[in-house]
Amino acid sequence: MFDFMPEAVSTWANKVDWINSLITYIATFCTVAITAVMLFFAVRFRRRSSLVAEETPQLTHSTLLETLWTAIPTVIIIFVFYFGLVTYQEMRNPPPNALEINVDAYKWRWEFTYPNTKKSHNELIVPVNKPIRLIMTSRDVLHSFFVPVMRVKEDVRPGAYSVAWFEATKVGEYRILCAEYCGTNHSYMQAKLKVVSENSFQDFLARSEVGEVVALPPSELGKELFNQRACAQCHSTDGRTIIGPSMLGLFGKTETLDSGEQVAVDEEYLRESILEPGKRIVKGYLNAMPSYSGQLSEEEIRGLIAYIKELRNDGQEANK
């Protein structure tokens, strides 16, 4: 009847849902029953005439009734607290054999590091039927790691580690959300959770990272990174303004800054804007972009610039 919870994919999601249903039924029963009694009294004892009747009985208290309706809620809440606690202890204590994955949260993307130092961006890949222990930290502000289908949520803080764990029971693709408000693009800080078979997971671990061994041409590497590192959340490639300027036809333009100063969008300005985005902001835009300093290699920065350059060419060709 109140089954609105998302699909249950972790080992304890069904237990959480069971407690949730229990509470919802108790809550609904209490609300409906007490309201019904109140409405019954309101109708049954409704004042019939306009005259104020004063022959109502003097009922000021009843020790028996009052003891009862103090005791009954007390018993109910101790009962519910206990069930909530037992399942929560399971949720808070990862088994010792869990696979450990490091999680780094950035404004506004997720980075996952696997035991063999391989990284993935905005995509967490885990094997099915294996406990996963996440060791999480933030590189800027507070975030919160939320996977609705796992019923798991834990804040991710800068300067500290927090831990969450789950064991997926079903292969599939699910949503990871940020649940702690973290600024402009908070609602776009989403990642995919891919639950795969043990074999696919091993394949994934063995595969090389983007551009690492198989050298991609710079502009293709840039295109991969542009999506992977969440640039596309704020910068379109088709001329629309999302939060920041669109990349279409950007390279080579002359822009006006807030100070009135002019700046040519060249390699140097793009590099600066990636590493120190707040330094020279084009008029009309917010200082909302986080710095990517220390998060991209020289090759990767070069790749991004090559991709942005290419978007100018595409634009020019389209105009011809």
Partner 1 sequence: MSEAETANDKLNYLNCEKGFLSWLMSIDHKRIGLMYMASMFLFFVVGGIFALAVRTELFSHGETIVNAQAYNILFTLHGVIMIFLFIVPGIPATLGNFLLPLMIGAKDVVFPKLNRFSYWLYLLGAMVAFFALFMKLDTGWTFYAPYSLENSRAVITATSAAFILGFSSILTGLNFLVTIHKMRAPGMQWGRLPLFVWTLYATAILQVAATPIIGITLLLLILENALNIGVFDPSKGGDPLLFEHLFWFYSHPVVYIIILPAMGIVSEIVPVFSRKPIFGYKALVYASVGIAGISLLVWGHHLFVAGMSNFARYLFSFLTFLVAIPTAVKVFNWVATMYKGSISWDSPMLYAMSFVFLFLIAGTTGIHLATLATNAHYHDTYFVVAHFHYTLQGGAVVGLLAGMHFWFPKMFGRMFNESFAKFSWLVLFIGFNGTFLPQFVLGMQGMPRRYFDYPPEFEGLHRISTIFSFVNGLGYAMVLGNLLYAAFKGKFATSNPYLSKSLEWQTDSPPIKDNFAEIPRVTDWTYSYGATQ
- Scan residues 208-267 and list those touching partner 1 (CB under 8 A): 243
Q: Least Å distance between CB 234 and partner 1?
A: 9
Question: 10 Å Cβ neighbour count for 72?
Answer: 10
Binding range to partner 1, per CB under 8 A, among 30-38, 96-104, 266-274, 291-299: 30-38
Q: Is 308 in the site for partner 1 (CB under 8 A)?
A: no
Q: Is 172 in the site for partner 1 (CB under 8 A)?
A: no
For partner 1, the binding residue among 1, 57, 97, 298 (CB under 8 A) is: 57
Q: Is 42 in the site for partner 1 (CB under 8 A)?
A: yes
For partner 1, the binding residue among 119, 181, 202, 268 (CB under 8 A) is: 181
For partner 1, the binding residue among 30, 205, 215, 264 (CB under 8 A) is: 30
In the bound state with partner 1, the residue whose beta carbon lies nearer, of 136 and 301, is: 136
Q: Is 10 in the site for partner 1 (CB under 8 A)?
A: no
Residue 145, H or E segment: strand 143-147
Tokens of 294: 């220390």
Binding range to partner 1, per CB under 8 A, among 64-72, 196-204, 266-274, 293-301: 64-72
For partner 1, the binding residue among 70, 116, 208, 254 (CB under 8 A) is: 70
For partner 1, the binding residue among 94, 127, 131, 148 (CB under 8 A) is: 148
Residues in the chain: 320
* Helix pair 267-275, 298-319: axis angle to 10 deg: 130
Q: Give CA separation, 42 vs 35, 37, 53, 61, in Å.
A: 10, 9, 15, 20
- Site residues for partner 1, 268-287, by CB under 8 A, read 286
Mode of pairing for the β-strands spanning 119-121 and 109-113? antiparallel
Q: Is 45 in the site for partner 1 (CB under 8 A)?
A: yes
Question: Closest Cα to residue 166, out of 7, 12, 5?
Answer: 12
Q: Least Å distance between CB 221 and partner 1?
A: 28
For partner 1, the binding residue among 98, 99, 135, 179 (CB under 8 A) is: 179
Q: Is 1 in the site for partner 1 (CB under 8 A)?
A: no
Question: 10 Å Cβ neighbour count for 278?
Answer: 11
If phi over 0 gives left and psi between -120 and 50 gives alpha, with beta otherwise, what is residue 305? alpha
Q: Is 24 in the site for partner 1 (CB under 8 A)?
A: yes
> In the stretch 73-92, what mask flags binding to partner 1 with x, by CB under 8 A?
xx--xx-xx-xxx-xxx-xx
Q: Which residues contact 104 (CB under 8 A, 6 or more apart)?
A: 110, 111, 112, 113, 136, 137, 138, 139
Q: Is 141 in the site for partner 1 (CB under 8 A)?
A: yes
In the bound state with partner 1, the residue whose beta carbon lies nearer, of 19 and 306, is: 19
Q: Is 60 in the site for partner 1 (CB under 8 A)?
A: yes
Q: Which residues contact 287 (CB under 8 A, 6 or more apart)?
A: 277, 278, 281
Tokens of 93: 């204590």
- Site residues for partner 1, 150-169, by CB under 8 A, read 151-155, 157-160, 162
Question: 10 Å Cβ neighbour count for 155?
Answer: 17
Supply the Cα-derived Rg of the chain in whole angstroms. 28
Q: Is 294 in the site for partner 1 (CB under 8 A)?
A: no
In the bound state with partner 1, the residue whose beta carbon lies nearer, of 57 and 260, is: 57
Residues 123, 128, 133, CA angle at the centre, nearest 5°? 65
Binding range to partner 1, per CB under 8 A, among 109-117, 142-150, 215-223, 303-311: 142-150
